[in-house]
Structure 1
Amino acid sequence: MSATFGGRSGRQGRISEWLRGRRAGRPLDETPDAAGREALLLAAAAAGLPLAPAAHPSGYGCSCDRVGCPTPARHPVSFAWQTQSTTDHAQVERWARHQPEANFITATGMVHDVLDVPLSAGRQALERLLAAGVEVGPVAESESEAEDGRLLFFTHTRGTPEDEDEWWPCELDCHPETMDEHPGLRWHCRGSYVLVPPARLPGDVAVHWVRGPEHPLPDPLSLLEILTDECARHAATEPDTTAWPQHG
């Protein structure tokens, strides 16, 4: 599960070249074709992000058979997604080719965590982090028709701390006692997941890379101060900010 980006010659070199070629002032995976979709998924797996198939849009709903699915196209297709998640190149390739419409999730808390913030706050934070010379890893953008959208910062996982009181669960922003300190921030760690680009949501909405998976994962604590600062600024003007729901 600890495969590193660029660890394979030949095909991995072509994936890296494809990713570099997509950078022209637009999302890395804007409307990717089948080959582009597969290359992006394999690049994510090669970077160590464990993947598993997820639902996809069906009209304005979800491909799953759940009536009124609360998170259409945003959830895994299997209840065993945590054990199913893998970085195995051959398995991800098979999934991508046999399920051409499927989105994919990446399980957090194994190799990486994700700091999930409102889009406008995340964009301001990203500018500040880069200007300050802070190492920023992969960043994905989740668009939204009705809301502000979300920016997802991929980081190293914190693992399991010795003191469980130090553990910040993925429901960080869902409890009243944490909202004042960490408004709008969700920390995806063990037991959680996020969609990995490229992904499609109902209403022709997408999840795409802003910074691709070739960027090394940073320490989450190196990003946290600026992210929480910008989330607090955002909450002052958008007091009803809530995190994008992940689980169905």
Structure 2
Amino acid sequence: MKETTTGTQAAPIPRQRTEPLLDSAVRYAEERHWDVLPGTWLEAVAGVERCSCGDTACSAPGAHPTRPDWAAEATGSAVAARALWSGEPRASVLLPTGRTFDAVDVPETAGFLALARMERMDVTLGPVARTPDRRMLFFVLPGAGAKVPGLVRRLGWTPSAIDLAVRGEGGYVPAPPTRVGSAGAVQWARRPTAVNRWLPDGEELAGPLAYACGQEARDGRG
């Protein structure tokens, strides 16, 4: 059963069962063979939840790496992941990009529009995450960062003008059920399953995503 609804409006995601961050990290490593990384977490300070980094103006409270050399800490081992989160169970779950997957990052409204169209066209899709800041992340094969921007330009759009970006090598994405400040938790619009274990190439999604983002940009200007 699909977890999204069709149409051009952003549809609410059904309430999902929330499992502990540790269990989620272990499952991603064990079942999907994704590298996982423990990030910052939320702490209650004078009744207000703040990022464990201590920066009161943190742009991603509770959902970013804890140190500059974070890439070396990421692991694809379920055993190592269990040990890392056992030390700090509140740590957010971050997934490094550019390793087993890249993520095409688009506005939520455009993401739902493209998702509905691609489902109707029976396009192969991987997992899709929805973040509290109203973004959608489409998981694709690594290497999309080098190909998708050029494809988008050949389709007649400038990636920055239509608010489409690719998170690839050297980047990361927050994974469910990570919470980002008071905005809420990251959720799956299309959760990882055995059916979508094999990810699509970024080229396959570039057209529908660029078109949807272009539509949103035009509507916004109007």
TM-score normalised by the shorter chain: which range applies? 0.7 to 0.9
Change (3 A) 1:81 1:203: same
The amino acid of 2:28's aligned partner reads A
1:86 corresponds, among 58, 75, 80, to 75
Change (3 A) 1:191 1:119: same
Aligned position for 1:152: 137
Gaps of 5+ in 2: 6-11
TM-score, normalization: structure 2?
0.78
Aligned position for 2:42: 57
Q: Hey, what's the Cα distance between the residues in 2 that align with 1:224 and 1:134?
A: 12
Change (3 A) 1:69 1:143: closer
| Per-residue CA distance 1:165-192 (angstroms, 9 max, x = gap) | x5859xx9xxxx6434xx1111001111
Q: Would you say the 8 A contact 2:42–2:51 is kept in 1?
A: yes
Aligned with 1:42: secondary structure? Answer: helix
Q: Would you say the 8 A contact 1:107–1:194 is kept in 2?
A: yes
Change (3 A) 1:28 1:77: farther
Matches within 5 A, 1:154-233: 154-158=139-143, 168=149, 178-180=159-161, 183-203=162-182, 205-214=184-193, 215-216=196-197, 217-233=199-215
Which segment drifts farther, 227-236 or 61-70? 61-70
1:137 corresponds, among 126, 131, 153, to 126
Q: Hey, what's the Cα distance between the residues in 2 that align with 1:89 and 1:158?
A: 25
Q: Hey, what's the Cα distance between the residues in 1 that align with 2:177 and 2:63?
A: 12
Aligned position for 2:16: 30
Q: CA deviation at 1:100?
A: 1.7
Aligned position for 1:235: 217
The amino acid of 1:232's aligned partner reads G
Change (3 A) 1:61 1:196: same
Q: Count residues with an aligned counterpart.
A: 199
Q: Would you say the 8 A contact 1:113–1:154 is kept in 2?
A: yes
TM-score, normalization: structure 1?
0.71
Q: Aligned Cα RMSD in Å? A: 2.8
Q: Would you say the 8 A contact 2:145–2:168 is kept in 1?
A: no
Q: Hey, what's the Cα distance between the residues in 2 that align with 1:178 and 1:201?
A: 26
1:70 corresponds, among 59, 65, 84, to 59
Gaps of 5+ in 1: 1-19, 240-248
Between the aligned residues of both structures, percent identity stands at 26
Aligned with 1:153: secondary structure? Answer: strand
Q: Would you say the 8 A contact 1:41–1:198 is kept in 2?
A: no
Q: Hey, what's the Cα distance between the residues in 2 that align with 1:103 and 1:132?
A: 35
- Whether 1:42 aligns to 2:42 is no
Q: Hey, what's the Cα distance between the residues in 1 that align with 2:206 and 2:77?
A: 31
| Per-residue CA distance 1:190-220 (angstroms, 9 max, x = gap) | 1111101111111151101122223221111
Q: Hey, what's the Cα distance between the residues in 2 that align with 1:49 and 1:196?
A: 11
Matches within 5 A, 1:111-130: 111-130=100-119
Q: Would you say the 8 A contact 2:27–2:78 is kept in 1?
A: no
Q: CA deviation at 1:65?
A: 2.3
Which segment drifts farther, 43-52 or 226-235? 43-52
The amino acid of 1:213's aligned partner reads P
Aligned with 1:179: secondary structure? Answer: coil
